[in-house]
């Protein structure tokens, strides 16, 4: 029974999904109720995780499932991200005529898959979690069936994701074949670090994982899927799955294959450099804000991978800090996108921001803070996120990686500043509606203040993350 307490969050989410499915069948027009219950269930799950004792590493199911500080923190981030996505997108879903009972249930299914991924200590358990997450995301991407772009984005994501899953499974089969086990700990203990078969297996799995976080050169799906999906789904894509995938990266590289760091480190460094450069350069010509966020997210995942490539606990911690702050920045940015509404129509191009400061000074100020933070301008939270990553990189004398990262930051600053120029100096357009939901206002206020005031207590997040010691 004590073991059941440790997996009570996963059990609770599973039971919640079943309950909501049954409720949806018997309760006609129950979309609002199911939507609100889903948010409540996600927050209750956070409380269940917090109730489990921290600083204890527990392994379950034949050492294939692990509960530790890393899994607890990343699950909390995932659940809070999902709760915020559901709470701020209610009005958008109603106006887009996709306010259906299936939407929050699919979000919960995807989050359950991510929670399994985050705690997985076995290749098969990880793959089960990954597929549960992906199957829900395929449907979410094409959820707005009346729009051709949404159907197209769902199909593109499905086809390319199926290909990446095949490569990932092939990597798993190679590792199982050469090590005799799918368990991370057993693989780590019985491994010959010079074995070429294992190196091939690692490469194939890293390709599959790189696709999931849209790292270059496996990023091709991201811009089209981000643009075509409903905006609330794009927000979910932009923040939540990346947390789970980053955790799998950490577990996969540092638990079974830490002894093979010489083999996988160059791959991660390449993914990081390519993502940072491509994300900075490709976003410059974008006119659609959702496509710009897609290319921007490719660059940001490059910074997170730079921390992972270091091979130290400090590097891992800096990547977790980075992804946490990145979640808050994206939450604020999409809150602003949800506020760009006029006559029940949402706008999502950079030109639609023209002269926004004249009619909406508070919204413009929030966007200014968020964009400056994404560009890494001090003393905002985004600056500290990059600072921790570059600090861990430089401490290991990886100067080339740090220089490329700094240069790509400078290039990326151009397109963020261009948006600010459009907001403050271009001709004003017609005023947007101001009848926003309370949750949307809370989300924007929370994210803006957190980014703006982060420099007052920068060590608090680092203190929480410093409990995570993988090596």
> What is the mean pLDDT of each successive set of 10 residues along the chain, which is 471 residues long?
78 92 83 89 90 75 86 90 90 83 91 92 90 90 84 87 90 87 82 73 89 86 87 89 89 85 88 91 85 89 90 88 91 88 82 83 89 88 89 89 90 88 83 83 89 85 80 71
What does the pLDDT read at residue 2?
A: 63
Can you give the three-state secondary structure of the chain, one letter per residue?
CHHHHHCHHHHHHHHHHHHHHHHHHHCCCCHHHHHHHHHHHHHHHHHHHHHCCCCCCEEECCCCEEECHHHHHHHHHHHHHHHHHHHHCHHHHHHCCCCCCHHHHHHHHHHHHHHHHHHECEHHHHHHHHHHHHHHHHHHHCCCCCCHHHHHHHHHHHHHHHHHHHHHHHHHHHHHHHHCCCEHHHHHHCCCCCCHHHHHHHHHHHHHHHHHCCCCCCCCCHHHHHHHCCHHHHHHHHHHHHHHHHHHHHHHHHCCCHHHHHHHHHHHHHHHHHHHHHHHHHHHHCCEHHHHHHHHHHHHHHHHHHHHCCCCHHHHHHHHHHHHHHHHHHHHHHHHHHCCEECCEECCEHHHHCCHHHHCHHHHHHHHHHHHHHHCCCCCHHHHHHHHHHHHHHHCCCHHHHHHHHHHHHHHHHHHHHHHHHHHHCCCCCCCCCCCCHHHHHHHHHHHHHHHHHHHCHHHHHHHHCCCCCC
- Give the total number of structural domains in the chain: 1
51 within a domain of the structure (yes/no): yes
Model-wide pTM > 0.85: yes
Q: ∠94-99-105 over CA atoms, to 5°?
A: 150
- Residue 181 — φ and ψ, nearest 5°? -155, 160
pLDDT at 338: 87
**Cβ pair 274, 216 in contact under 8 A:** yes
What pLDDT, on a 0 to 100 scale, did the predictor assign at position 19? 92
Q: What is the pLDDT of residue 83?
A: 92
Residue 340 lies in a domain: yes
Interhelix angle 196-212/261-282, rounded to 10 degrees, is: 30
How far is it, in rounded angstroms, from Cα 272 to Cα 16?
A: 38
Instruction: Please name the residues in contact with 309: beta carbons below 8 A apart, sequence gap of 6 or more.
Output: 265, 268, 269, 272, 315, 393, 398, 401
Q: How many CB atoms lie within 10 A of CB 281?
A: 16
Cβ pair 182, 172 in contact under 8 A: yes
Residue 1 pLDDT = 53
- Please give the pLDDT value at position 427: 82
pLDDT of the residue at 55? 65
CB atoms within 10 A of CB 20: 23
304 Ramachandran zone, left/alpha/beta (phi>0; psi -120 to 50) = alpha
**Is 162 exposed, middle or buried, given 0-12, 13-18 or 19+ CB atoms closer than 10 A?**
exposed
What's the CA dihedral at 449, 412, 294, 231 to 10 degrees?
40
What local confidence, expressed as pLDDT, does residue 44 receive?
92
Average pLDDT, the chain: 87
Q: Domain for residue 415, yes or no?
A: yes
Phi-psi region of 55 (alpha: psi -120 to 50; beta: other; left: phi over 0): left
Is there a domain that residue 470 lies in? no
Domain-located, residue 375: yes
Judge whether 321 lies within some domain. yes
Q: Buried b / exposed e across 349-360, counting CB within 10 Å, b at 16+?
A: ebebbebbbeeb
Could you list the residue range(s) of the whole structural domain that residue 336 is in? Answer: 2-465
Predicted local distance difference test score (pLDDT) of residue 270:
92
Whether 471 maps to a domain, the answer reads no
The pLDDT, as a whole number, for residue 169 is 92
Per-residue pLDDT tens over the stretch 372-430: 998 888 888 889 889 999 999 998 888 898 899 899 999 988 888 888 888 888 888 78
Q: What is the pLDDT of residue 274?
A: 92
Residue range 277-297, pLDDT digits in tens: 998 888 888 888 888 888 988
Domain assignment present for residue 203? The answer is yes
Phi, psi (5° rounding) for residue 65? Answer: -135, 125
- The verdict on whether omega for the bond into residue 379 sits within 30 degrees of 0, i.e. cis, is yes
Residue pair 305/319 in contact by the 8 Å Cβ criterion: yes
Please state whether beta strands 65-67 and 58-60 pair in parallel, antiparallel, or not at all (unpaired).
antiparallel
């Amino acid at each position: 029974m004590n073991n059941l307490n440790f997996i009570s969050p996963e059990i609770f989410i599973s039971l919640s999904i079943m309950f909501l499915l049954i409720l949806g069948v018997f309760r006609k027009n129950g979309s609002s109720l199911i939507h609100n219950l889903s948010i409540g269930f996600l927050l209750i799950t956070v409380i269940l995780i917090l109730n489990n004792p921290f600083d204890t590493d527990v392994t379950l199911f034949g050492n294939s499932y692990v509960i530790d500080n890393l899994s607890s923190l990343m699950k909390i981030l995932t659940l809070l991200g999902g709760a915020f996505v559901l709470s701020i997108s209610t009005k958008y879903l109603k106006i887009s005529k996709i306010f259906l009972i299936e939407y929050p249930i699919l979000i919960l299914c995807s989050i359950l898959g991510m929670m399994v991924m985050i705690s997985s200590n076995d290749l098969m358990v990880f793959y089960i979690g990954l597929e549960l997450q992906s199957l829900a995301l395929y449907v979410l991407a094409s959820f707005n069936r009346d729009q051709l772009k949404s159907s197209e984005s769902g199909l593109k994501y499905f086809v390319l994701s199926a290909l990446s899953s095949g490569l990932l499974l092939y990597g798993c089969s190679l590792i199982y074949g050469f090590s005799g086990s799918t368990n991370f700990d057993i693989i780590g203990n019985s491994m010959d670090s010079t074995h070429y078969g294992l190196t091939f297996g690692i490469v194939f799995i890293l390709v599959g994982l790189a696709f999931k976080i849209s790292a270059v050169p496996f990023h091709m799906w991201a811009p089209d899927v981000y643009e075509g999906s409903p905006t609330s789904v794009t927000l979910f894509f932009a923040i939540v799955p990346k947390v789970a995938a980053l955790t799998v990266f950490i577990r996969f590289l540092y638990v079974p294959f830490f002894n093979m760091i010489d083999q996988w480190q160059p791959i991660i460094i390449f993914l990081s450099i390519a993502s940072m450069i491509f994300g900075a350069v490709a976003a410059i010509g974008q006119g659609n804000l959702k496509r710009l966020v897609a290319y921007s997210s490719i660059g940001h995942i490059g910074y997170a991978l730079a921390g992972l490539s270091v091979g130290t606990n400090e590097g891992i911690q800096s990547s977790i800090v980075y992804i946490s702050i990145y979640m808050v920045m994206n939450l604020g940015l999409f809150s602003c996108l949800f506020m760009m509404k006029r006559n029940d129509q949402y706008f999502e191009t950079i030109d639609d921001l023209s002269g926004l400061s004249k009619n909406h000074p508070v919204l413009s100020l929030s966007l200014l803070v968020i964009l400056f933070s994404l560009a890494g301008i001090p003393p905002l939270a985004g600056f500290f996120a990059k600072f921790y990553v570059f600090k861990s990189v430089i401490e290991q004398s990886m100067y080339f990686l740090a220089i490329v990262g700094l240069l790509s930051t400078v290039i990326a600053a151009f397109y963020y500043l261009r948006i600010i120029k459009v907001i403050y100096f271009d001709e004003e357009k017609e005023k947007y509606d101001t009848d926003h939901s309370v949750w949307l206002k809370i989300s924007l206020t929370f994210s803006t203040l957190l980014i703006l005031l982060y420099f007052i207590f920068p060590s608090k997040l680092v203190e929480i993350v410093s409990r995570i010691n993988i090596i």
